[in-house]
Amino acid sequence: MTPMNKPPGLPDRDRCLVMGVVNVTPDSFSDGGAWFDPGRAIEHGLRLVEEGADIIDVGGESTRPGAQRVSRDEEIRRVDPVVRELVRQGVPVSIDTMRAEVADHAVQAGARLVNDVSGGLADPSMARLVAGSGVAYVLMHWRGYSHDMQNRAVYTDVVKEVHEELRQRLDSVVDEGVDPRQIILDPGLGFAKRPEHAHNWALLSHLDTFHELGHPLLVAGSRKRFLGRLLSDAEGHERVFTGCDDATVALTTLSADRGAWCVRVHDVRPNADAVRVAAAWRTGGTELDEGRADPIGRSGL
């Protein structure tokens, strides 16, 4: 795999990792409402681990295009019981939040990764919090809040501009004390990227360019609209997100083959299979030391 550093505190596998999504929200794009009840969210997270997820990403605020923000207290109320119980059961938990206070709460409860879709731009305290906690940090390319982010999807050269903006964010959080070994980069598929302008495909076809920044890469295209657009029917109607899971698996296979550190997905089982196929293909099957009985290797974390 191309990336140099292994982020601290997370499973270390000789293959692309799989992050399973648990959105504890009433309004997320593809699974809004399904896991809003904490009990159901916990059950779902555990099921995803059984299906082969290495990390569970718990989020309490929808970031779908057009979404309005929730309060900090409401966000904490949503994620807290889910993070606590998954941690208690030994699951590596990621907290998907743009707020340092929510991240702090989750890290205190045992979360091992802060997944900040704003790349530290939404909350000026985030970099300091991450630096102080020492946990792994996903820094995603972002140009603004969901309610108007698509208006900001204006690029002359999307690959060059996203690369440059990510590099600036990297410099900025490192200046604030974040250890580069904590940082995972994410090009932010779907965030201020327009399906009709093929922004997402341009980024995916240039993953190598992002590898040059020297950090592990997270690819999070699961069920996103650019897949639905690609799979439009003869009348030009976009495929609904529920029909995009097979395309997500194809994306996972290619991302794993191109050296992605992790993929973030909703439907874990087929994607967990795909990353294992990609690893077996790459190694010729010589380094496969994990079975599926203990999918996250809880004993060895």
Return residues touching ligand PMM (CB under 6 A). Answer: 21, 23, 28-30, 63-64, 96, 115, 117, 138, 140, 186, 188-189, 218, 220, 223, 264
Find tokens 């390319």 and name the residue.
Answer: 141
Residue nearest to ligand PMM (CB): 220
Instruction: Say which of 99, 193, 225, 264 is annotated catalytic.
Output: 264
DSSP letter, residue 69: P
Compare residues 21 and 109 and give the one whose CB is closer to ligand PMM: 21
Active-site residue, selected from the candidate residues 194, 224, 229, 258: 224
- Residues forming beta bridges with residue 186, ordered by sequence position: 140
For the CB of residue 9, give the shortest distance to ligand PMM in the complex, in Å. 17
CB of 156 to ligand PMM, least distance (A): 23
Indicate if 78 belongs to the active site: no
Rg of the Cα trace of the chain?
A: 18
Contact status, residue 120 vs residue 172, Cβ threshold 8 Å = yes
The residue among 78 and 290 lying less far from ligand PMM, judged by its C-beta, is 78
Expressed in angstroms, the distance from the first to the final Cα of the chain is: 20
Cross-sheet strand order for the sheet of 113-116: 183-186, 136-140, 113-116, 93-96, 55-59, 17-23, 262-265, 218-219
The yes-or-no answer on residue 264 being catalytic is yes
Q: For ligand PMM, give the closer residue by CB, 104 or 186.
A: 186
State the minimum distance, in angstroms, from the CB of residue 59 to ligand PMM: 6
Tell me the closest approach of the beta carbon of residue 60 to ligand PMM, in angstroms.
11
Beta strand residue intervals within 143-301, DSSP E: 183-186, 218-219, 262-265
**Active site members:** 224, 264
